Amino acid sequence: MLRKYRRKKWKKYKNILRNNKLALGFQKPRNWKVIKRYENYKSKKFNKILKQKKQIRQNSNILKNNFNHGDRLELPSVINFTHGWDNIKILHERIKAYNKTLTSNISIDLSKLNEISINGLVYLISKIDQMTNHKKSLRTNNYKNAFKYNAKYGVNPDNEKLKYFLSTVGYWGYFGIKNPYKIQKNIEDEYFLSIKTDVLSKSCYVADLREFISEKVDFLKDDLIQEYFDDAITEAMANSVEHGYIQKTPTRTRGKWWLCGHYNKKDNYLEFSFKDYGVGLRKTLEYNADDLVRSFIRNLKHSAKSDAEIIKLLVNDKLPKYKGKKDKIRGYGFKKFKEFASKIDCDCEMKIISGRGQYKYIASLSREEEILDEMDFSTDGVLISWKLYLSRKK
Amino acid sequence: MEKKRIEYNFATEFSPYPGPREEVIGPFSGERFRKEVLENFFQNNQPILLNIEDTKISFGPSFLSESFGLFAKKYSLEKFNEFLQVKQDTEKGKRFYEKMMEYVLREIENA
């Protein structure tokens, strides 16, 4: 009742104000200041929402013109970091544009998708997670947390390989979708470790991945190799949780990471990928380091060191060891990634992507090479993948 | 009088999965092991023989540096060696000891 009375009074005041700038003749109630403050606040909020909606409508029109439909995110035909940057850039830009139009529930169109790799999958899932968090942060009334499968925009029904991959890797399960389609046949040569995710570093996930590998191949039978493997994955997890998230952002769950694995029996290769969507390596180093490393980073900036070059310094243990906030020595993790790739007895390709940089390390019998690459767009967090060609012995 | 050294089975008495550096990062961390196990035994003048044979995954550098490294840095290498011995009757035990000492020495050198 009080609210209605106050609103009535405010409307009366506004009406008088229209004809009479000094609002003469208007009798102010006792708590007028409170009413005025509240009504001004409400009108400001209302105008802000109106402006946002207008902006979203405009963005939606832009997106409609670019992709023909602004209501859903259309995935490109390939999402694979091995096939160069173009497909990732397309996905990156579509997600960026789609985020601006996010008015209703998230809708993802998989109908054009033909191929997705393990590293592409963890990248995509991290992006969807960000979109979901963004949606939650908008707090719109019609937001639903659960995803549903819409066959119209689902996986191409003829692409049995992709259907099998997404089901076995736990993509649908991750979003709470149960058995969205029937799988006609089992692809016997492909094995997948279902997506693992957490906000803490738990060693049992390392044991899970090791068990998955040991069931298929025996390359981890050597205790020393096992140790290199454990160290690499443990440090990747710990680095993400400890250093990857330096500030609270509404679209990122602090400490979150994803891990996924794949074994192809026919071609006898094994791959696993690790991803977080934190602030990336350059910012992490600047934030966590002590004065010694800060001055080192500043010098790097001056000498225009790229993100890829910074990754190279980290994996080769060329950054000075630094003391963290509690005076503890940090910075052991990254060299363990390369150590694993170089010590195992088969050919290995390791890739680390952060910011605009990509660092690739190839270790084989004939060569050992480090390849640096720069992208014209920036990815968030860190993506680490290893691909092991088990038949090619060093 | 110093007590008789007792055997401490890491996997059964702490965890088969040694964790990360600190407890806020993940469970069974080096920080927790140092505070709850090493400090406790040390305060009670109880030397230990560490048996890591049944652990399911290897000890990461962060765990080693945080638990054994910081402990040795606090009480000196000499006292650390007197207090803690590692059961080295297997290859796994021997390798663990070498790896642990690597991070202990690094922490002491960087003191």
Is ipTM beyond 0.85? yes
Q: What percent of chain B has pLDDT over 70?
A: 97
At A85 the pLDDT is 80
Q: What is the pLDDT of residue A112?
A: 92
Contact B100, B68 (CB under 8 A): yes
Q: A251-266 b/e with 16+ CB inside 10 Å = b?
A: bbbebbbbbbbbbeee
- Return left, alpha or beta for A68; rule: phi > 0 is left, psi -120 to 50 is alpha, else beta: left
Q: Is B44 exposed, middle or buried (0-12, 13-18, 19+ CB in 10 A)?
A: exposed
Lowest mean pLDDT among A50-54, A69-73, A138-142, A377-381: A138-142
Tell me how crowded residue B10 is: count the other CB atoms within 10 A of its CB.
21
Q: B71 contacts in A (CB within 8 Å)? A: none
Contact B57 A328 (CB under 8 A): no
Q: B111 and chain A: CB distance < 8 Å anywhere?
A: no
A177 has pLDDT over 50: yes
The answer to whether B20 contacts chain A (CB < 8 Å) is yes
Q: Both tokens of residue A30?
A: 């006792």
pLDDT at A63 over 60: no
C-beta atoms of A332 and B62 within 8 A: yes
pLDDT tens, residue by residue, A290-348: 665 666 666 665 455 788 988 898 888 776 555 454 445 455 678 888 888 988 888 99
Question: Are B25 and A203 an interchain contact pair (Cβ–Cβ within 8 Å)?
Answer: no
Taking only the tens place, the pLDDT of each residue in B36-81 is: 999 999 999 999 999 999 999 999 999 999 999 999 999 999 999 9
Decide if A310 contacts A285 (C-beta within 8 A).
Answer: yes
Task: Flag whether pLDDT at A110 surpasses 70.
Answer: yes
pLDDT at position A195, please? 93
Between A140 and A233, name the one with better pLDDT.
A233
Polymer length of chain A: 394
Q: Please tell me whether residue B110 adopts helix, strand or coil conformation.
A: coil
Sign of CA pseudo-dihedral A135, A137, A141, A144: positive
Q: What pLDDT score does B10 carry?
A: 96
> Who wins on pLDDT, A304 or A261?
A261
Contact A393, A287 (CB under 8 A): no
Q: Which two tokens stand for residue A346?
A: 């088969």
pLDDT of residue A302: 47
Q: Reduced to 3 states, what is the DSSP secondary structure of residue A62?
A: helix
Which is more confident, A336 or A138?
A336
Looking at per-residue pLDDT, the higher value among A202 and B109 belongs to: A202
- Name the DSSP letter for residue A28: -
What pLDDT, on the 0 to 100 scale, is given for residue A142? 52
Tell me the torsion sign for CA atoms A368, A334, B86, B90: negative
Q: Give A352: exposed, middle or buried? Use CB within 10 Å, 0-12, 13-18, 19+.
A: buried
Question: Please, where are the H alpha helices in A316-354?
Answer: 333-343
Instruction: Select the residue from A202, A203, A223, A322 to test the B interface by mutation, using most B Cβ atoms within 10 A.
Output: A203
The model's pTM:
0.80
Q: Which of A77-86, A195-204, A345-354, B28-37 has the least mean pLDDT?
A: A77-86
CA distance linking residue A211 with residue A217, whole number of Å: 10
Side-chain half-sphere exposure of A251, counting CA atoms within 13 A: 13
Q: Give the residue among A254, A261, A260, A252 at the shortest CA–CA distance from A240.
A: A254
B57 contact residues in A (CB cutoff 8 A): 203, 206-207, 210, 230, 234
User: Which of A201, A204, A323 lies closest to B25 in CB terms?
Assistant: A201
pLDDT at A115 over 90: yes
Report the half-sphere exposure of A89 (CA within 13 A, side-chain side): 9
What is the C-alpha separation between A380 and A246, in angstroms, rounded?
A: 13
Helices (H) and strands (E) in chain A, counts: 12, 11
- List the single best residue of A329, A338, A339 to mutate versus B (max B Cβ within 10 A): A329
Distance from CA of B90 to the nearest CA of A (A): 12
Q: Given an 8 Å threshold on Cβ–Cβ distance, is A238 in contact with B91? A: no
Strands B6-9 and B48-51: parallel
Angle between helices A223-243 and B91-109 (to 10 degrees): 40
Is the CB of B105 inside 8 Å of chain A's CB atoms?
A: no
Comparing CB atoms, the residue among A207, A224, A332 nearest residue B61 is: A332
